[in-house]
Structure 1
């Protein structure tokens, strides 16, 4: 029954009950209302209002739950649904809302997968251009400067050597950017070697990264390993930029049917800050592979935990 007619029926039922009670009750109302008659009328009115409010509250309770869920729903934390039942005028609305959430989560997952795939392809393209074009160009500059250093006068040679060192440092930085954009070690040597290289890279920038890995880790597949690597990379980047951390523990372990990645730092923590684009990006990636990401306070700083289900063979 539509909600409009349900409300009309409830109010009509209450009025009928009130009218029948007044008609059958052995009471009368004088031309001048007496105190005892006024008490009966007030009590009857209160009873009608209370009965009407109880019936309406029972009928519209699912609508209140729907409003609360709509205010708190987050597509990055999927799976929340309203309980469905066969009673109530708003149950078709509840079922429709749950179906809408299902479609939104499915479409969001598909669009995120396409967007992240395009992002990785663009990362590979930029990394290849940095390595093949800019890297080779800087290498040619270094070779030319090396040849010139033996032919220029002594007063100019020191300046030339400084330019040569600047070009060499720029070349190293370009190669580092290319490695971060396209983790070739992940494709060539696997996830554990890539995490080791990642820990070494961040340790060389003043933050001590301790890596812990349990033996006998299963193969996760290229897509899942890439997500684990990107989450670890983003978590270490956040620890270095925002947490003011001096040491970080990067761990990869097997726990039942899941592989668990944890990144724990000793920084200042989240301090109630809202999630930025980095954490939201990690959540988007984890949803693509059915993993569960948890970001919150740790023992001393911030703790990032990614639970990746192992594919059953």
Structure 2
């Protein structure tokens, strides 16, 4: 039983108590040793003191042990200063004290380094977990949140036009069904590829934006899409930016005209979403725009928002 839980028991004893216990044991061994060889064990006194009280006390005890041995020689060994064996013993004891202090200093530094390393690893783990939580929250907002907002917009349109325009109402219900299916597809894709950096790019930004504009437009709201340049590769960050800009314009601004422009050049791609809505206070950005800024920052791009009572313009640029 002692062998199993001994380390835990010793770990609960104060360092000062351990030092006192060790010093008493050394004195007991020296008392029963008639050969005098056990005095070499006293180099452990400053060694133990280093852990219990620090370097200053340990060095003081080391000097004291050497001085005590020299005093003992002076009291009990006449003319020991001219006898080589006693001088050699004193020098070896002093060297042992120095080595013991050096070993203790190394052990303390290693323990401190290990403690710092454990603290750093804990911080890294915490930051990684927080980053993953933020990523998942951003994905839920940008994907699931957008489609749920689109479903709400289309169902409101269907309800408003149910008696006035049955065909437009049926089309709105069809668009809501499309958004629901897209939501399921993106949830399944996220589950299949769950992990940092696992989100998939749209099959093509031009096609994805055209599809998005088609299913969000209609009724009293007109959404236009303009593309220029040659698309080199799909850019998920621009698609998410378009989702955020269109959802905010459709849901909150009361805009009737929304324009989406994408331009490609040799440096990268640039997206602009402009509406004629009522605007908002840019100091009160919600989670969606905050998450979008983080996306753009990770892509080493730029983002700007200009909002007034006459409308809002969201601009996002991303380098290749």
Measured against the shorter chain, the TM-score band is 0.3 to 0.5
Q: Which structure shows the higher helix fraction?
A: 2
Higher-Rg structure is: 2
Structure with higher RCO (Cα < 8 A, 6+ apart): 1
TM-score by length of 2: 0.42
TM superposition score normalised by structure 1:
0.42
